[in-house]
Amino acid sequence: MKEIWAWVRSLAAAFVLTILIGLFVFQPTKVLGHSMDPTLHNEQRIYVSKLSHTFGYQPDYGDIVIIDSRVDRVRSFKDDVLEHPLLRWIRGDNDPNMYVKRVIGKPGDVLELKNSKLYRNGELLEEPYLKEAMQPEPNRKWTVPEGNIFVMGDNRNHSKDSREIGFIPFSHILGTKI
């Protein structure tokens, strides 16, 4: 009986440690969809650094981040716990609200989409990671507010990103791709 309890305690400690590491240090995640082609592919597994999220680090231009796309609601620590990959796996749940995108704009930036080309603060962005040229869409302009970022997928013609869901609050950045 002592041996069984020793195993139970060991497994419980491993479970708790896995959750804590996933909440505060790093965690695996899976890319869902083709919005980051050709850089990342559908179903590709990646590791996410949670240190940036834990310590309030702001991602830099070009960083690939994992975001909670539900920007119309406030995120809480409870969300972080319940959305941990191990707990989602136990529940058999894939979360379609977690997006993998690239940081295009930071607070104060003025982004402009003109003639299917993207400009940041008046300068044309060189984006060698794009899958293909953007299909024509209306000219638009955004100013990124404080406490937010602007993200887009590398496969712009097939990406649900800040053009559609809006600015991403820092609290909705779940981590940065390692």
C-alpha span between 145 and 110 (Å, rounded): 10
The CA–CA distances, whole Å, from 99 to 25, 31, 94, 139 equal: 19, 8, 12, 25
Which structure tokens are listed for 13? 């400690």
Catalytic residue among 50, 52, 69, 101: 101
165 CB-side CA count, 13 A: 24
Q: Give yes or no: 117 in active site.
A: no
Catalytic residue among 35, 52, 69, 159: 35
Q: Give yes or no: 69 in active site.
A: no
Per DSSP, the three-state class of 157 is helix
Which residues are the active-site residues?
Answer: 35, 101
